[in-house]
Structure 1
Amino acid sequence: MNPLRMTSLCLMSLVLSACATTDPLASQSESSIASQSESSTWSEDLKPDILMVVIDDLGWADVGFSGGRSHLTPRIDAFAGDAVFYAAAYADAPNCAPSRCSMLTGLATPQHGVLTVGSSRRGKPELRKVEPVSSVRFLSPDVKTLPDRLRENDYRTVHIGKFHVGPDPLDYGFTDQVAGSGAGHPKSYLSPYRNSALSDGPEGEYLTDRLADEAIEFIEIEDGRPLFMHLSFYSVHTPIQPRQDLLEHSKRRLPQARRIEQRYDAMVSAVDEAFGRVIDVFETRDRPKMIIFTSDHGGFGPLADNGHLRGSKGMLYEGGIRVPLVIRWPEGERSGTDDTPVILRDLVPTILGVTGTDHDRREFDAHPIPSDETKVSSDDRSLHWHFPVYLERDSSVEGPWRTTPVAAVRQGDLKLIEFFEDGRLELYDLHNDPSESTNIAASHPEHVTRLRFEMDAWRDAVGARVPSSPLDSNGGM
């Protein structure tokens, strides 16, 4: 390993111990790291409005701008054409709650403790070979969130839709909320919703449309404050319940498809319609505007289209963590495709910088997402995932598990995956093998050694625990 690299990592560990630094690969001086912002700042009357739109379980190729199904998402694709598509963007985890907690805190999953949805010990205990790391169900309200910080900067912070970070968004920095709770999916997409945080509409009202209506109502309020809106659609998570008119259209368009596929496509179309309606109104606000579109993780295996990517929701292969991310920056001048690897927790320092909100980057395991003016070489940064848990199988996989405890790191074009049950290591060259079809670990031991060192250093930096020794036949240690 480059000795300068090793020196940097050692210094990083010392700084972490003394200052609670959580940005292990930052190379800036302490003064620049701690600065308020590396992005544009705004006068009080020009602080930008921020709209963050998160889709649940959306597949990489469920949208046209990533090379997928353009017939489903014309409004989203039109938006992406005038914005920056981050083609190497990743979720922080391959399922909902941990990814969302990181997206709203700037912290890696081991730092906030929400490692998975529900128990880390899912599935049949007699089939587990290691003891997984325990996960907490919800983010602690004591953890400072993005809306907490924006609220201190006089933002109105509005949450609409799925939350899954904790029981009530109002406990996590939001000034207003509709439909958010600790639930991971809706009981029904058709009213009555049976959601204590959302009043029922007329019988048969469609949830995706209702959430768009609620968002528009808040967007139309001009109270002198800048707006941060976290619009988090429950779609396209199960249950697969489409709007009837869109289902009929899907049947005509895809007559040979399975019924469940027609229903899923209709749900994606509903999201596209709703997104278009919301941004049309958002664009009428007077302030500079930043619009973010993404998914919380990879697509659900049995239904979503992850294109050429291997795997799906619940896995650390690309299909489980690669997400479509598009940002329209406030300046409105940047567009095109950016291949720099980024991770969704990077949105926190990015938004804080754009809004001129006081923050110390050493609080986050995240980097501001690069703009044209602030490029970060992908070879200088590692992205890490830590998923030391079990997930039972779904219909997209064979065997008892969708995943066993696992971790991964990407640096440059190389990605190393470590499986904790048997110590298996898989190395992929994502430039030449984006489908992760050929494990090159045996032929490139030098890269395996280097990336293992990166993994260990990062785990130490963020306090990541690993699964413990194999269970005995009685289920004890």
Structure 2
Amino acid sequence: MSYSKLALRICLVALVLTGLSGCFSSERATVVTDDQVLSPARPNILLILADDAGWGDFGFQGAADLRTPNLDQLALDGTIFTQAYVSASVCSPSRAGLLTGRYQQRFGHECNLEPLQARAFDSNQISIAEALRDEGYHTAAFGKWHLGEMEHQHPLRNGFDHFYGFLAGGRTYFPDPKVDRAGDPHALLDDYAQTNFEGYLTDELGDKAARYVEQRATDSRPFFAYLAFNAPHTPMEATEEDLALFPNHDRPVYAAMVYAMDRAIGRVIQSLKANGVYENTLIFFLSDNGGAHSNDSSVGPLKGWKGNQFEGGLRVPFLASWPNRLPAGNQHFGMISSLDVYATAIHAAGGTPAPALDGSSLLTLLEKGDSQAPNHEALYWRKDEMSTIRYGDHKLIHLDEFGDVVYASRNNIIDEDTNLATSDKDLHDSLSLALQAWENTLKDPIWVEGERWNEVTRHIYERLMQNDTVLYKDPAQMRNSRK
């Protein structure tokens, strides 16, 4: 497609968005009735989320130095999506988008969560757990929540029948009396009650999820389990036994943490198989954002990392498996979003019409049989001063009071070293118009991140946009660089 035709098409998208500025969403989920779902029995649904894992950090993504046999087998049993994006480059807003199927900016959950933020994770949103519970599913969440610490933000108040995990954005992997006490948001909860654990938290979460599968497998109601590991997020902690498996490794703690997470996932998969429900379980695996600069993760050939809207911060490993329905050993190369998980789950469950979503069913996409077909013509991002659009094979990143860069895809990788903003003004202007039109449909963020982080983030963007060396990546490094 010529640039002139592409620019015209992008402009038409911008006009449509402008006309829909008073609506919830520019895209709506595919709504499918029970008789359109091919499987005779509604599937169980398992959503597995890693925390700060890099795009290149699993065997099925090409990592040769890490051991992920269970995830690699799961990928062989299903479909790998090679151009999968999350809706935010940091933990909390990404989870808000994942669990609502909507751009989280639509309800003000735009920046990473501040403690005791009463308006986080808007209770007016219908979570994926609420929607599936309405369809007769039993629902459970395990692990990291990070969507608010107040009573109305608790998982049990947002569609989950059971919760075993912690409310905060992170915690230690071993028991710690400093946080393992009632009232601390880092403490482990069994529903509402503070509880203690022994051993290593990643194993604990896998064991609890596996036991839940065993308990629910014989029930007439299907189940939805959300297993949100805090691995491999900092602090970098692993068991001595796992560390011993990676002697002379370039990143031994990270390798051990990822291996432990894979082992925990394997226990859940084995429970599914042992209880005869694996074949009819729809499983998703992805990371909440790109790899962090602080945990030894790898984003492979991508530029950037967690916290910015370059590819390394937004593009994530993503696979889906459902042996009864989806082809095995499959790869899909078109652009998809974490926002699609919600719509896919409702589709698989034969759900009733959902509210306006920004995601679309991946089942519909895969049944087209075109491995290059995108599930979205365009995807959008915004966090405070930074905003981005990817439209087809082109991407624009904007930084307030600094400017824009425009990139193009080469061999399914966005080349973020070659800026086309000046050389193709029509392309730049049309992308900018479409991005502005989308932003006009949003509300202002309810809160923003602290000034120190904003200063660091601006520095990172300015340097990356100019292909310069980033001098510091967090407030501590910024302070040290100025001594």
Does the Cα contact within 8 Å between 1:41 and 1:353 map onto a contact in 2? Answer: no
Does 2:97 align with 1:102? yes
CA distance in 2, matches of 1:380, 1:220: 37
Does 2:283 align with 1:280? no
The normalised TM-score by structure 2 is 0.79
Does the Cα contact within 8 Å between 2:79 and 2:320 map onto a contact in 1? Answer: yes
Does the Cα contact within 8 Å between 2:48 and 2:228 map onto a contact in 1? Answer: yes
Does the Cα contact within 8 Å between 1:38 and 1:353 map onto a contact in 2? Answer: no
Does 2:318 align with 1:325? yes
The structural deviation recorded for 1:145 is 0.4
Does the Cα contact within 8 Å between 1:96 and 1:116 map onto a contact in 2? Answer: no
Structure 2 counterpart of 1:449: 429
Does the Cα contact within 8 Å between 1:162 and 1:185 map onto a contact in 2? Answer: yes
Does the Cα contact within 8 Å between 1:114 and 1:136 map onto a contact in 2? Answer: no
Does the Cα contact within 8 Å between 1:90 and 1:322 map onto a contact in 2? Answer: yes
Does 2:309 align with 1:310? no
1:147 equivalent among 117, 129, 138: 129
1:367 equivalent among 360, 369, 383: 360
Deviates more, 1:228-237 or 1:136-145: 136-145
Does the Cα contact within 8 Å between 1:117 and 1:137 map onto a contact in 2? Answer: no
CA distance in 2, matches of 1:38, 1:427: 45
CA distance in 2, matches of 1:213, 1:380: 36
Letter in structure 2 aligned against 1:184: G
In the alignment, structure 1 segments of 5+ residues that lack a partner are 27-31, 121-134, 389-404, 472-477
Does 2:223 align with 1:227? yes
Please give the secondary structure, in 2, of the residue aligned with 1:79.
helix
Please give the secondary structure, in 1, of the residue aligned with 2:142.
strand
Letter in structure 2 aligned against 1:442: T
CA distance in 2, matches of 1:5, 1:323: 25
- Counting matched residue pairs gives 418
User: Residues 192-246 of structure 1: CA distance to partner in whole angstroms, max 9, x if unpaired?
Assistant: 67114152233xx010111111001110012221010000111111111101101
User: Residues 352-380 of structure 1: CA distance to partner in whole angstroms, max 9, x if unpaired?
Assistant: 011111123x6112222221337584396
Alpha-carbon distance change, 98 to 452 in structure 1, aligned in 2, over 3 angstroms: same
The structural deviation recorded for 1:456 is 1.6
Aligned counterparts, 1:252-271, within 5 A: 252-254=247-249, 257=250, 261-271=251-261
The structural deviation recorded for 1:293 is 0.7
The structural deviation recorded for 1:11 is 4.8
Structure 2 counterpart of 1:125: none
Letter in structure 1 aligned against 2:170: H
Aligned counterparts, 1:282-297, within 5 A: 282-287=272-277, 288-297=280-289
Letter in structure 1 aligned against 2:430: R
CA distance in 2, matches of 1:343, 1:294: 10
CA distance in 2, matches of 1:180, 1:105: 20
Does the Cα contact within 8 Å between 2:387 and 2:398 map onto a contact in 1? Answer: yes
- The alignment yields a C-alpha RMSD, in angstroms, of 2.9
Please give the secondary structure, in 1, of the residue aligned with 2:313.
helix
The normalised TM-score by structure 1 is 0.80
CA distance in 2, matches of 1:381, 1:186: 38
The structural deviation recorded for 1:249 is 1.6
CA distance in 2, matches of 1:345, 1:38: 24
CA distance in 2, matches of 1:34, 1:154: 17
Please give the secondary structure, in 2, of the residue aligned with 1:150.
helix
CA distance in 2, matches of 1:278, 1:179: 16
Aligned counterparts, 1:52-451, within 5 A: 52-69=47-64, 71-119=66-114, 138-167=120-149, 168-181=154-167, 183-190=168-175, 194=180, 195-197=187-189, 199-202=195-198, 205-221=199-215, 222-250=218-246, 252-254=247-249, 257=250, 261-287=251-277, 288-302=280-294, 303-329=296-322, 330-360=324-354, 363-369=356-362, 370-373=365-368, 377-378=373-374, 381-388=377-384, 405-422=385-402, 424-431=403-410, 434-451=414-431
User: Residues 37-65 of structure 1: CA distance to partner in whole angstroms, max 9, x if unpaired?
Assistant: 8962655xx11001111011111111121
Does the Cα contact within 8 Å between 2:55 and 2:300 map onto a contact in 1? Answer: yes
Does the Cα contact within 8 Å between 2:243 and 2:252 map onto a contact in 1? Answer: yes
The structural deviation recorded for 1:283 is 2.8
CA distance in 2, matches of 1:381, 1:51: 27
Does the Cα contact within 8 Å between 1:406 and 1:420 map onto a contact in 2? Answer: yes
Letter in structure 1 aligned against 2:105: P
CA distance in 2, matches of 1:456, 1:39: 37
The structural deviation recorded for 1:454 is 1.3
The structural deviation recorded for 1:414 is 0.9
Alpha-carbon distance change, 274 to 253 in structure 1, aligned in 2, over 3 angstroms: farther
Deviates more, 1:278-287 or 1:213-222: 278-287
Does the Cα contact within 8 Å between 1:87 and 1:339 map onto a contact in 2? Answer: yes
Does the Cα contact within 8 Å between 1:41 and 1:355 map onto a contact in 2? Answer: no
